[in-house]
Amino acid sequence: MVFGVLKDIKNGEYRVIATPSEIATIVADGHTALVQKGAGEKAGFEDAAYAEAGAEIVDTAEEMYARSDLLAKVKEFEPCEYELLRENQIVFTCIHPAAHPGEVQALLDKKVIAFTAEDSHRYGSPNCEAAGKQGALMGLESMLSINGGKGKFVSGLGGAPGMKVLILGGGVVGQAALSVLHALGAWVTIMDINIGTLRSISRQYHEQVNTMISTKQNIAKLLPETDMVLNCVKWPKGCRDYLIDRSMLKLMEKGSVIVDISNDDQGAIESFHETTHENPRYIEEGVVHYCVSNIPGAIANSTSVAYAASVLPHFRGILNQGVAAACVKDGFLRRSLTAYKGYLTHEETSALQNRPWVRPEDILGIADKKLDAALPATVTRSENFIPLEDIRLK
């Protein structure tokens, strides 16, 4: 097969989906590798290194789309890319389909086989770890007086206390942020809805981190004395409530900081709106908000190395075994199948966009196989199924 690595074109995105190391492995497996010119340059990987690993360097995105059987990149497809997609082409990227109906429609119209990378990680995405760790540092930068913040130093100074930080969510993102802030000497409270998670975190940090059950009421109690809030919650799509609504911003002192790492539209923070690395902050009710959507892009080399290593098994599975066989062996790859030759195969998207869907194992004809197990990617469910007898595949 022909494997293609696209150059990402999203504003402020510098990561690359595969480094020369992954390319060398794929070429050794007997496949052709194409890399768009400059795809890894901003992450520290020159075209010459890809060529040395066995890739052909391709000048344009148009040629990449035209020649690649399996095409991969980091972030969502931009509207200018929709028309370049080809029927039966396999694509792998962070689609975030439930939040992007236009992108989903393009994938269906073009009858591609699309995998959404964010649902494919068995052990949590390296991008989540990167977002948590770097997001904590971006929050500290936002606390600086020159950026509108209180001007507090994270661990304090002689005679001046350190920062009090509230982390919402004890998953991969929240724990990554905690590891940085605790090491730097912040006074941290972490909230989650799972007491087992909180108990584990408390033991890990030898009871030097405060833990609380995450409720709106508990958050409100802490906000008056909290210098920085990091939102690391995977908020249910379609939920109309908030953990911090606009009125609660008035509980915080002016110059306090909110870092919305989760970056969900209609997410846990009502005052959220997406920002970019070029213009990362805004102020509401005196509270500095940092809401950049692709925080890991700021540490493009480290995230590219970690991310590429984590998705290489998916690429090799598809390239060496084919889509169906790869989805039998890896339930996390299977659950990330989003569109298949004109049919939606992503449950959350079906529920939130009111589109009929078909389970990946049904459309791939593998339901009778011994499938590798994987929990659903989200709690959202849909019974809006396409009758199997109505499915027509070429």
Query: If you search the block for the tokens 């040395």, which residue do you land on?
Result: 52
313 burial level (CB within 10 Å; 0-12, 13-18, 19+)? middle
User: CA dihedral defined by 57, 13, 340, 31, rounded to 10 degrees?
Assistant: 20
Instruction: Report the C-alpha gap between 19 and 308 in whole angstroms.
Output: 7
152 backbone dihedrals φ, ψ, rounded to 5°: -85, 145
CA dihedral 39, 45, 46, 47 (to 10 degrees): -50
Q: Which of 228, 218, 123, 243 is nearest to 180 (CA)?
A: 228
Of 8, 31, 96, 227, the catalytic one is 96
Q: Classify strands 281-284 and 287-290 as parallel, antiparallel or unpaired.
A: antiparallel
Active site annotation includes 264: yes
Q: What are phi and psi of 4, to 5 degrees?
A: -120, 135
Is 100 designated active site?
no
Active site residue: 227, 260, 264, 330, which one? 264
**Positions marked catalytic:** 96, 264
